[in-house]
Amino acid sequence: MSADPTLRREIPDATVARLPEYLRTLTMLAEAGVASVSSEELAASVGVRSAQLRKDLSHLGSYGVRGVGYEVETLALEITRALGLTQDWPVAIVGMGNLGHALASYSGFVTKGFHIVALFDDDPALIGEQVGDVTIRPSWDIEGCARELGIAIGVIATPAPAAQTVCDALVKSGVHAILNFAPSVLTVPAGVEVRRVDLSTELQILAFHAQRRVGLPSPAVVQR
């Protein structure tokens, strides 16, 4: 492996997962006119320990000033660069039911860095519908048009039984990154990154913790 000092460092997954948080907070600080933060302050806003923040940032390079802190604009730019958000990523959503519609019009989606270029569904009643400035296409056209639209990230919001078929079509079209909202495990070739978001999984994890509470101080009196 090359030991290029400027870029192509190995960034741990756990760090990558926190970078978006840091970036969001830095963006808010920048909008509030804050020019500089210490690791202590930034960590507090994000809800991590300052040592963790510093270690995370150290994987990107050395962008702080000892005795002073980090320049907000600079750090935000470096994280943006590290995450690959200096370019625009074309995204497709497959499955335009309630969830698909909600995702397509979700403000957080239009965040700098992403651009919805295609919507797919296999329900004839939905095909042709205009959502924002994109028209819903039939799912069976994925392989026909996904590659020429340059889709890099696919979002699957179909019912579970359709998810694997849709996933296969996306992968065949050159998509290497998939966000799966369907409650099913996807099988993909090596090199394709899948992340899953599942409501019932999250609720069940919360139920576990809620259950642990039986017999604990129920009143929400703030205490320490």
Q: Does 31 contact a copy of itself by CB under 8 A?
A: no
> Is residue 215 within the footprint of a copy of itself (CB under 8 A)?
no
Contact track, DNA, 15-54, x by CB under 7 A: x---------------------xxxx-------xxxxx-x
Cβ proximity of 122 and 139 under 8 Å: yes
Residue 72 found at the interface with a copy of itself (CB under 8 A) = no
Strand ranges, E, within the chain: 36-37, 64-65, 69-71, 89-94, 114-121, 130-131, 134-138, 153-156, 177-180, 193-196
Q: Look up residue 32 and give its DSSP letter.
A: T
Closest CA to 175 of 159, 208, 152: 152
The answer to whether 83 is annotated as binding is no
> Which of DNA, a copy of itself, none does 124 bind, CB closer than 5 to 8 A by kind?
none
Task: For residue 156, give the DSSP letter.
Answer: E
Tell me if 97 is assigned to a ligand binding site.
Answer: yes
Residues near DNA, by CB under 7 A: 12-15, 37-40, 48-52, 54-55, 57-58, 62-70
Q: Please report, in range form, the residues annotated as the binding site for NAD(+).
A: 95-100
Q: Please report, in range form, the residues annotated as the binding site.
A: 95-100
